Amino acid sequence: MLKIWGRNDGSNVVKVMWCVGELGIPFERIDWGGPFGGNDEPEYRRKNPNGRLPTLEEDDGFTLWESGAVIRYLCAKHSLGNFYPEDLADRAAADKWMDWSSLNFASFNAVYLDQYFRLAEADRSAAAMEAGVKGALPWLDILDSHLADNDYLGGDRLTMADFPAGSLLHRWMHWTPNLPSHPNVAAYYNRIATRPAYQEHVVAPNAPRTQQIKEAGN
Ligand SMILES: N[C@@H](CCC(=O)N[C@@H](CS)C(=O)NCC(=O)O)C(=O)O
């Protein structure tokens, strides 16, 4: 059976697990990294020399790291012509949003993780948080404008394009102080958030941290 190594609340694991859930394939996810440790174990490093999460492992011993590559591989294997568009231009357009998410959109997530969870209270900075939100706004504007004419990032249906940015969007919607208005992004979020696989693999694993943020009054 397909194995995914990685704790369920790491953003790069979450995006892969939403994809796995949508594909409806059997899987085993192994709690790894973070509080579970194991990243430096030699056997794990042989599968993933970076000592990061997630790592995919197939029954025949094939292993793969880099969450975007994992999503592309799984969609090509199990959803050719659907989540993994067959048409070259459509596929490139979907690919584009995946890279855009990791290289641009995800920047706010690093700031939020530092400011909400990693830094000691004395080291947190309202200015850094504000800069994180401000820095993300141009990306949200781009997303909002694309979603004015498209129900999903890859066009009129869910594709691999949605898994990276769509999964991170949950944190943007729930962890951003004084959430700025992006009506098309909000409508897109409501569209994807009702999907059972999104609820299971994105909303539920994020819930403890979301609760922690709420209780802290942010
Ligand atoms: N570019 C890599 C980044 C992998 C990464 O940094 N993953 C984080 C979790 S989201 C990690 O391994 N952190 C260390 C840990 O959780 O132990 C990918 O997309 O797979």
Over residues 149-188, the pLDDT tens digits come to 999 999 999 999 999 999 999 999 999 999 999 999 999 9
Number of structural domains found in the chain: 2
| 206, pLDDT greater than 90 | yes
Q: What is the CA(183)–ligand 1 centre distance, in A?
A: 31
**Residues at CB less than 6 angstroms from ligand 1:** 10-13, 33-34, 39, 52-53, 66-67
Amino acid at 49: P
Nearest-atom index, ligand 1, CA of 39: 17
Q: What is the CA(52)–ligand 1 centre distance, in A?
A: 5
Nearest-atom index, ligand 1, CA of 53: 12
In this structure, is residue 193 part of a structural domain?
A: yes
Residue the block writes with tokens 């992006």? 182
Q: Check whether residue 116 and residue 36 sit in a common domain.
A: no
Q: Check whether residue 72 and residue 133 sit in a common domain.
A: no
| 218, pLDDT greater than 80 | no
Q: Check whether residue 109 and residue 9 sit in a common domain.
A: no
Q: What is the CA(67)–ligand 1 centre distance, in A?
A: 8
Nearest-atom index, ligand 1, CA of 66: 20
In this structure, is residue 57 part of a structural domain?
A: yes
Per the structure block, which two tokens stand in for 25? 């394939």
Residue nearest to atom 6 of ligand 1 (CA): 52
Using the 3D structure, point to which of 78, 112, 127 is the last residue of a domain.
Answer: 78
Give the phi and the psi of residue 122 in degrees, each rounded to 5. -65, -25
Using the 3D structure, point to which of 21, 44, 78 is the last residue of a domain.
Answer: 78
Look at residue 94 and give its three-state secondary structure. Answer: helix
Using the 3D structure, point to which of 50, 78, 106 is the last residue of a domain.
Answer: 78
**How far apart (Å, rounded) are the C-alpha atoms in residues 133 and 182?**
13
Is this model's pTM higher than 0.75 or not?
A: yes
Q: Check whether residue 211 and residue 122 sit in a common domain.
A: yes
Per the structure block, which two tokens stand in for 197? 């696989």
- Residue 99 CB neighbours (<10 A): 11
| Mean pLDDT value across the chain | 97
Q: Check whether residue 169 and residue 194 sit in a common domain.
A: yes
Structure letter (DSSP) for residue 122: G
**How far apart (Å, rounded) are the C-alpha atoms in residues 155 and 207?**
29
Q: What per-residue confidence (pLDDT) applies to 217?
A: 82
Q: What is the CA(184)–ligand 1 centre distance, in A?
A: 29
Q: Check whether residue 119 and residue 192 sit in a common domain.
A: yes
Per the structure block, which two tokens stand in for 47? 């599968």
Nearest-atom index, ligand 1, CA of 14: 10
| 6, pLDDT greater than 90 | yes
Q: Check whether residue 55 and residue 156 sit in a common domain.
A: no
Q: What is the CA(49)–ligand 1 centre distance, in A?
A: 12
Residues in a beta bridge with 57: 3, 63
Q: Check whether residue 45 and residue 110 sit in a common domain.
A: no
In this structure, is residue 83 part of a structural domain?
A: no
Q: What per-residue confidence (pLDDT) applies to 38?
A: 98
Q: Check whether residue 125 and residue 166 sit in a common domain.
A: yes
Look at residue 111 and give its three-state secondary structure. Answer: helix
- Cα atoms found within 13 Å of the Cα of residue 177, Cβ hemisphere only: 17
| 69, pLDDT greater than 80 | yes
Q: Check whether residue 56 and residue 121 sit in a common domain.
A: no
pLDDT confidence tier of residue 43, bands split at 50, 70 and 90: very high
Residues spanned by the domain of 14? 2-78
Q: Check whether residue 36 and residue 101 sit in a common domain.
A: no
